[in-house]
Amino acid sequence: MIHQISKRMMSWDATVMVSHWLLAICFLGAVLTQDSEKFRLVHVTMGYTMFGLVAFRLIWGLIGGKYARFSSIFPRLKKVITYIRSLFTSHPEKVIGFHAIGFLSAYILLAVILTVTISGYLVYEEIGPDFFEDLHEILGNLLITIVGIHVGGVLIHAILEKIKAKAALQPNALPSRKRPYQWMAGIIVMVVTYFWVMQIKI
Looking at per-residue confidence, does 200 or 171 come out higher? 200
Kindly tell me the burial class for residue 195, based on how many C-beta atoms sit within 10 Å of its own C-beta (0-12, 13-18, 19 or more).
middle
Looking at per-residue confidence, does 65 or 21 come out higher? 21
Note the pLDDT of residue 194: 95
Provide the whole-model pTM. 0.78
**Sign of dihedral through CA atoms 6, 10, 15, 19?**
negative
Question: Cα–Cα distances in Å, from 115 out to 47, 99, 124, 142?
Answer: 11, 25, 14, 11
Grouping H, G, I as helix, E, B as strand and the rest as coil, residue 188 is helix
pLDDT in tens, 88-105: 777 776 654 455 566 677
Looking at per-residue confidence, does 36 or 53 come out higher? 53
Q: What is the mean pLDDT of the chain?
A: 80
Residue 138, domain extent: 2-200
Note the pLDDT of residue 88: 79
CA angle, 163 then 90 then 150, to 5°: 55
pLDDT in tens, 145-183: 989 888 887 777 677 767 766 666 555 544 556 778 899
pLDDT in tens, 11-51: 678 898 999 999 999 999 999 999 888 899 999 999 999 99
pLDDT band at 74 (very low <50, low <70, confident <90, very high): low
Q: How many domains does the chain have?
A: 1
Note the pLDDT of residue 107: 79
Q: Which is nearest to 179 in space by CA: 2, 19, 1?
A: 19
At 14, the amino acid letter reads A
Cα 43 from chain centroid (whole Å): 18
Note the pLDDT of residue 181: 87
